Structure 1
């Protein structure tokens, strides 16, 4: 039995979760809860290109927001821990 996540000539989708993280997902499998389709059925290479183009910051969105919140910035500028 082959692994549906590693079929070179398979059809895939690109999924994205609420943290703006992406996943290459086999087109034959149901979309898991908490994920939305960012790119519909395409070949593996196209999906990987899409992920590389759109997922430019690997940090979860909650971390990015926390790092730019006024309290975080003020804390970092004061040099205190």
Structure 2
């Protein structure tokens, strides 16, 4: 697939992000995050908006143990 093919950024309930080909159906459990572009643009966007790649449930559990916030 060409690196210029349009992609979407998708996210799941654990706030995990992924790049997905725009022409393909989004799999169950994922939703469009609202950003689309080339593979490189989408990858750069994910790098900006998802600095902590741990799943939300793990971040929340660790925050409860330390008394801090989940983010």
TM-score range, shorter chain: 0.7 to 0.9
Q: How many residues align?
A: 67
CA offsets, 1:2-58, max 9 Å, x none? xx4xx3111100000000100000011001111111134311121011100001101
RCO higher in structure (CA 8 A, sep ≥6): 2
Q: Extract structure 1 runs of 4+ deviating beyond 3 A.
A: none
Equivalent residue number for residue 25 of structure 1: 20
Q: Which runs of no fewer than 5 residues in structure 2 stay unpaired?
A: none
**Whole-angstrom distance in 1 between the partners of 2:20 and 2:40:** 12
Q: TM-score, normalised by structure 2?
A: 0.83
Q: Radius of gyration: which is bigger? A: 1
CA RMSD of aligned residues (A): 1.6
